[in-house]
Amino acid sequence: MNARPCQLAQLIALGTWLFVAHTIALDFTIPRLSTALTIESFAHGPIDSPMVQVTGFTQRRPRDGNPASGKTIAYLGYDQDALHVVFLTFEDPAAIRASLSPREQIRDDDTIGIMIDAFNDQRRAYSFTTNALGVQRDQFYVEGGKSDSSYDTVWQSSGQLTDWGYVVMMSIPFKSLRFSPPSQQSWGIILNRGIEHLHEFNTWPHISSSESGYLNQAATASGIEDVSPGGSLLVIPYTTASSISGLVTDGAPSFVDNEFAAKAGVDIKKVWKDSIVTDLTINPDFSQVESDEPQVTVNQRFAVFFPEQRPFFLENADICRTPYNLLFTRRIIDPELGLRLTGKVGPWAVGAFIINDEAPGQRLPANHPDSGERAIFAAARVSRDVGEQSTIGAIAAQRTFADDSNLVAGVDGRVKWDDLWTSDFQAVGSQSVFADMAETRGEAIYADINRDGRHFDYRAKANFISDDFDAQAGFVTRTGIISLEQDIQWSYWPRQGPLVEWKTSLEMQYVADDEGERLDEVVGLDFGVEFPGQTEIDTALSYGREKLTREEFPTLMADRDYNTDSVSLQFETAWWRSFKFQVQTEIGNSINFRPLPGFEPRPAEAVETEVEFTYRPATQLTIDASATFTTLDDEATGNKVFDDVVAQMRFNWQFSRALSLRAIVQHERTDPNPMQTTIADRENWNYDLLFTYRVNPWTAVYLGYNTNRANLAIEDFDNMRRIVRTDDLSKDSEQWLLKVSYLFSR
């Protein structure tokens, strides 16, 4: 029998099936339910239900458009209060990856979820996801591939493992969504399922990776009538009590012992006209119960970015995001009072806030004229949808402290040219006025063009930031530059065989000063392969030069080029359901930015190795460990400049979805060569124990203990006290913490 006609017939049948499935998916109706639902009704498999039933999930990866490897059935319905979704997923129970873990931490599990474009504008969507045990993860997706994982809201979910797979039920209250007020809603809907051991991601309707964008391919759901988030009011009071011992560095250094501190405050959220949100915070709690991920901060030329985690800034945070990060809210350290307004009405999205910060005035000596003064942060943002998925907007942000002020303002936008090509642009200016009446002005311009396809991706961007540009409320690490970047990537997804994907990319970057003189250039080549079982191997070669200038480093005799060539190798696998391992090492040329006084920055050779593993010996217990080892040696002599290690061990016992006990041990050690660098000899051990009862993101009880030991001491020198480094470790901080917060809503 001739194989070609058979293959041709199969392709025609598959194409016809995909066309019909996608056509049907363009519009469907969600029915109103008259009876309450329980997950137990679905525990034995498919049932007759008044809910609309959805099948026919297809792969987005690895084999775009193929039927899903495992069958999925979804049921959707709503009542006066919530949208209800039930998923039945069919899979070998032994292959399902599910753990009873803290909220949001289900990245390595099989998942099921729904995306809701509640304004049906193909620009933003709520994303609700759970694993097979109902552990929640919610995000806010912004078209262009950007997801805000810090978004939190209140919804209900439950999940059960069965002998044929698993079943999940979600109930998403309308008061947890923002949408337009018409009596009949029209929403964009995407259902999805992740099968991790196959590295497979399925969607309904089919969301092709050959077309740029997600939400422009969504199904349109109608039928939801006479519902509203209403003028919902959320009140979240909190109180903390702590006992603190440790080193105090404000003013003359000293130690305190068992100093008691108590604090109370409240966050209030009010929804107006279904989609406009006002947030008021009084004496907010900006302490972080969750710690930042460990990062190497030694011998860094530019500041290291840490993401925002604090609740007050998270509602509709995407509205104020632009190509330049002009509003980096972690610069606000210790506020008393803040007010925010965010939301969307028709094609218009708006955001504004004002908040004070006591920290700058507290850090000054008592005899300083600005001691006790507060910094004021204010920002405003407006954007308008244009066409199907294009946007134009404007933003302004200001920071004022005493007689100093800084203002940045500009316009930005996103243009979707066709199914594959998009562009972003921004033009901003800054004005800084200082107490001595000095004034500086600067500007920045950004533009890019992007192609997102199944096999071929392309990105190019141009960036100009003048030397006097200053964004004190933002995060812009480098000024006085012109940069050009290109990234070309080719991906191939074999239709058969053990290989899931192979990809190669070429990256090029050129940076000049604002007069056109070359500063840095980098050319990188990357090649990676991926196998089932979340197993990846990636290697990269990079050629680069970095120029340091006398303006930035006065000890240089003249501007000087440094070699920054490197090679890296990464291996990652989660072949076994209970174990994940990752190792990455990079070897190459670097720079000693902290030489001895009077010496130029010196060429160096660097080796950095990162090792991570996750072990789940039981469904409730997760053990994570990570370590980063960095060595820097002088290139000319081979002498050590420094060794640095940052290591962390984290244990989490999840008694239930709400109740957990977490322990963290973190060690940081920097061992410098005093004949090569001014970097301080530093050692630090931190121990953290936290008991959590968390009903939802805002109703929680935390009981914690933290202690830190470091090689620090206080000595008297010429009748003045100062902090010095020692050979021995001593306790420099200790804290007991009780925090209680509760969500009142109506």
Place of tokens 């997923």: 89
- Residue 226's closest CA among 35, 80, 50, 34? 80
DSSP 305-323: P-----GGGTTTGGGG--S
**Is residue 107's pLDDT more than 70?**
yes
Share of the chain above pLDDT 90, in %: 45
Q: What is the pLDDT of residue 216?
A: 87
Last residue of a domain, one of 170, 189, 222: 222
**Is residue 423's pLDDT more than 90?**
yes
Count of domains observed in the chain: 2
Q: Is residue 579 part of a domain?
A: no
**Is residue 218's pLDDT more than 80?**
yes
pLDDT, tens digit (0-9, with 9 covering 90-100), for 167-208: 999 999 998 888 877 778 899 999 999 998 888 999 999 998
Claim to verify: residue 60 and residue 163 sit in the same structural domain: yes
Q: What is the pLDDT of residue 297?
A: 47
Query: Residue 188: beta bridge partners?
Result: 117, 220
Claim to verify: residue 214 and residue 335 sit in the same structural domain: no
Q: How far apart are CA 544 and CA 542, in angstroms?
A: 6
Claim to verify: residue 204 and residue 75 sit in the same structural domain: yes
Q: What is the pLDDT of residue 732?
A: 77
pLDDT, tens digit (0-9, with 9 covering 90-100), for 327-367: 877 788 788 888 988 888 888 888 898 988 888 887 787 78
- Asked if 615 and 579 count as a contact pair (C-beta separation under 8 A), the reply is yes
- Please tell me the total number of residues recorded for the chain in this structure: 746
**Is residue 288's pLDDT more than 60?**
no
Q: What is the distance, to the nearest Å, from the Cα of residue 164 to the centroid of all Cα atoms in its chain?
A: 34
Interval 458-484 mean pLDDT: 90
Claim to verify: residue 308 and residue 218 sit in the same structural domain: no
Claim to verify: residue 437 and residue 337 sit in the same structural domain: yes
- Asked if 355 and 374 count as a contact pair (C-beta separation under 8 A), the reply is no
Higher pLDDT, 5 or 489: 489
Lowest mean pLDDT among 132-136, 255-259, 614-618: 255-259
Claim to verify: residue 189 and residue 318 sit in the same structural domain: no
Residues 6+ apart with CB under 8 A from 354: 338, 339, 376, 377, 378
Q: Is residue 133 part of a domain?
A: yes
pTM above 0.85, yes or no: no
Q: Is residue 19 part of a domain?
A: no
- Residue 736's closest CA among 30, 201, 244? 244
Question: Two tokens at 462?
Answer: 């141009």
In 10 A of CB 618, how many CB atoms? 11
User: Dmax of the chain from CA atoms?
Assistant: 99
Higher pLDDT, 317 or 482: 482
Is the alpha carbon torsion for 280, 285, 287, 292 positive or negative?
Answer: negative
**Is residue 722's pLDDT more than 90?**
no
**Is residue 5's pLDDT more than 60?**
no
Q: Is residue 74 part of a domain?
A: yes
Q: What is the pLDDT of residue 310?
A: 64
Q: Is residue 422 part of a domain?
A: yes
Last residue of a domain, one of 454, 477, 500: 477
Residues 6+ apart with CB under 8 A from 154: 173, 176, 696, 697, 698, 743, 745
Claim to verify: residue 200 and residue 337 sit in the same structural domain: no
DSSP type of residue 419 = S
Residue type at 590 in one-letter notation: S
Question: Two tokens at 59?
Answer: 């792969």
Residues 6+ apart with CB under 8 A from 240: 262, 263, 264, 285, 287, 737, 738, 739, 740
Q: Is residue 55 part of a domain?
A: yes
Higher pLDDT, 190 or 10: 190
**Beta-strand pair 219-222/27-29:** parallel
Q: What is the pLDDT of residue 606?
A: 95
Claim to verify: residue 187 and residue 332 sit in the same structural domain: no
Claim to verify: residue 187 and residue 53 sit in the same structural domain: yes
pLDDT band at 16 (very low <50, low <70, confident <90, very high): very low
**Is residue 615's pLDDT more than 50?**
yes
Q: What is the pLDDT of residue 2?
A: 45
Q: Which domain holds residue 377?
A: 303-477
- The CATH number linked to 140 is 2.60.40.1190
Q: What is the pLDDT of residue 517?
A: 87
Residues 6+ apart with CB under 8 A from 520: 509, 510, 511, 544, 545, 546, 547, 564
Q: Is residue 551 part of a domain?
A: no
pLDDT, tens digit (0-9, with 9 covering 90-100), for 502-553: 999 999 999 998 888 899 999 999 999 998 888 999 999 999 999 988 888 8
- Asked if 209 and 61 count as a contact pair (C-beta separation under 8 A), the reply is yes
Q: What is the pLDDT of residue 61?
A: 86
Last residue of a domain, one of 170, 199, 222: 222
- Asked if 133 and 231 count as a contact pair (C-beta separation under 8 A), the reply is no
pLDDT band at 302 (very low <50, low <70, confident <90, very high): very low
pLDDT, tens digit (0-9, with 9 covering 90-100), for 108-129: 899 999 999 988 888 889 999 9
Claim to verify: residue 204 and residue 309 sit in the same structural domain: no
Q: What is the pLDDT of residue 719?
A: 58
**Is residue 442's pLDDT more than 80?**
yes
Claim to verify: residue 347 and residue 207 sit in the same structural domain: no
**How much is the CA Rg of the chain, to the nearest whole Å?**
28
Q: Is residue 356 part of a domain?
A: yes
pLDDT, tens digit (0-9, with 9 covering 90-100), for 228-264: 776 578 888 888 887 777 666 555 556 667 778 788 8
Question: Two tokens at 743?
Answer: 């969500």
**SS3 state of residue 175:** helix
Nearest 5°: the CA angle 105, 742, 109 is 10
Q: How far apart are CA 725 and CA 708, in angstroms?
A: 15
Per-position b or e across 159-188, b if 16+ CB within 10 A of its CB: bbebeebbbbbbbbbbbbbbbbeeeebbbb
Claim to verify: residue 66 and residue 210 sit in the same structural domain: yes
Q: How far apart are CA 162 and CA 91, in angstroms?
A: 9
Lowest mean pLDDT among 144-148, 152-156, 509-513: 144-148
pLDDT band at 564 (very low <50, low <70, confident <90, very high): very high
pLDDT band at 631 (very low <50, low <70, confident <90, very high): very high
- Asked if 301 and 593 count as a contact pair (C-beta separation under 8 A), the reply is yes
Place of tokens 């404007």: 394
pLDDT, tens digit (0-9, with 9 covering 90-100), for 47-61: 888 999 999 999 998
**Is residue 426's pLDDT more than 90?**
yes
Interval 611-628 mean pLDDT: 93
Higher pLDDT, 247 or 78: 78
Residues 6+ apart with CB under 8 A from 475: 303, 305, 325, 328, 331
**Beta-strand pair 560-563/535-548:** antiparallel
Q: What is the pLDDT of residue 340?
A: 87
